[in-house]
Amino acid sequence: MAWTDPRTWASGELVTAAIMNSAVRDNLDAVQGAVISKSAGYTIVAADFAGGVVTVKVDTTGGSDVTIVLPAASGLAGYRVNVVLADATFSAGKSTGIVIVDGHSSELINGLASTKLFLEFDHVSMTCDGTGWYITEERSTVVASYYPASDTSANDNTWTQIALDTVLIDSANACSSSNFTVPVGYAGIYQLNSVMRFHSTASGDTFHLSYYLNGSQGTGWASSYITWQEDAGRPSGFAQTQVLLDAGDVIALYGKPAIAAASVDMDEGPLLCCFNALLVKRTYA
């Protein structure tokens, strides 16, 4: 139903069904907002709104990314846009198509040119202030899980990068060259954890496991590592929770034997050796 400007009633005026339908019923329907469905790129226009609200349901099961462009902010202060990735196909560790929500021309969304929805039922709600758009609620999932396709060997008490070259889940295409790289626009607090099983050539050897940040152990949390005693090659875990990362930061997993002249094999397989990263809170940088 279309919106009708509120009616000014005259004293003694007869109330009719036609007046009530347009002035009351239709307006109550209009403020509920409008819902539109899209499966290809689309630019939202003023006519899409009802009561200042529009929800865009996006279908990416066709396999291609879909870009939804917001309308120009001028004159739309207080208007709201909701976008949801309502239908997607999960394949090869990610959705076959994602949703890109793009600001009009050079207008920004939380200071960014665009924001993305990676998995089915991810969503974002935005409110306009007349010059740009601000996210008021969202779920935009960055989750990654990788494991080695083959054993990685480390020798002589030397840190060796573990080849995490097989993807279980990679919602944001963040895996490259055995590294996890924080996507642009998705700085924030990440939960990092890994599972490792190893075998050593030296009896009583211990094994070190560490996360490297931007190519080195660095300082603070990135310089820490975990040590454990070999025990029949049983899996062991290592976690760093609530780590604040910037867009473009690179996380890699390294291991080494503690005994000089010893060597270890880090076993392959998603249950024996894997790395996981999950975005907990986004900071939009």
CA gap 224, 192 in Å, rounded: 13
* Lowest-confidence pick of 102-111, 202-211, 263-272: 263-272
Range from 6-20, 27-41, 89-103, 202-216 that averages highest in pLDDT: 89-103
State mean pLDDT over 157-163. 88
State mean pLDDT over 212-226. 83
Q: Say if residue 114's pLDDT is above 60.
A: yes
The pLDDT tens digits of the residues spanning 8-36 come to 778 888 888 887 777 776 666 656 789 99
CA gap 47, 50 in Å, rounded: 8
- Compute CA 60 distance to the chain's CA centroid, rounded to the nearest angstrom: 16
CA gap 267, 139 in Å, rounded: 35
CA gap 49, 71 in Å, rounded: 11
What residue ranges of the chain are covered by domains with CATH 2.60.120.40? Answer: 143-282
pTM: 0.84
Whether CATH 2.60.120.40 fits 143-282: yes
Q: Quick check: 182 and 280 in contact, CB under 8 A? A: no
* Nearest alpha-carbon partner for 48 in 40, 60, 39, 57: 57
For position 27, what pLDDT does the model report? 66
The pLDDT tens digits of the residues spanning 55-93 come to 999 999 999 999 999 999 999 999 999 999 999 999 989
Q: Say if residue 156's pLDDT is above 90.
A: no
Tell me the pLDDT of the chain averaged across its residues: 87
Provide DSSP, 45-105. Answer: -GGG-BTTEEEEEEE-TTSS-EEEEPPP-TT-TT-EEEEEEEE--EETTEESS-EEEE-ST
CATH code for the part of the protein at 33-139: 2.60.120
- What are the CA-CA distances from residue 211 to residues 104, 135, 285 (Å)? 40, 32, 22
CA gap 177, 161 in Å, rounded: 11
* Nearest alpha-carbon partner for 59 in 113, 104, 103, 95: 95
* Nearest alpha-carbon partner for 128 in 54, 33, 32: 54
State mean pLDDT over 111-127. 97
- What are the CA-CA distances from residue 48 to residues 19, 71, 77, 101, 117 (Å)? 25, 10, 16, 16, 21
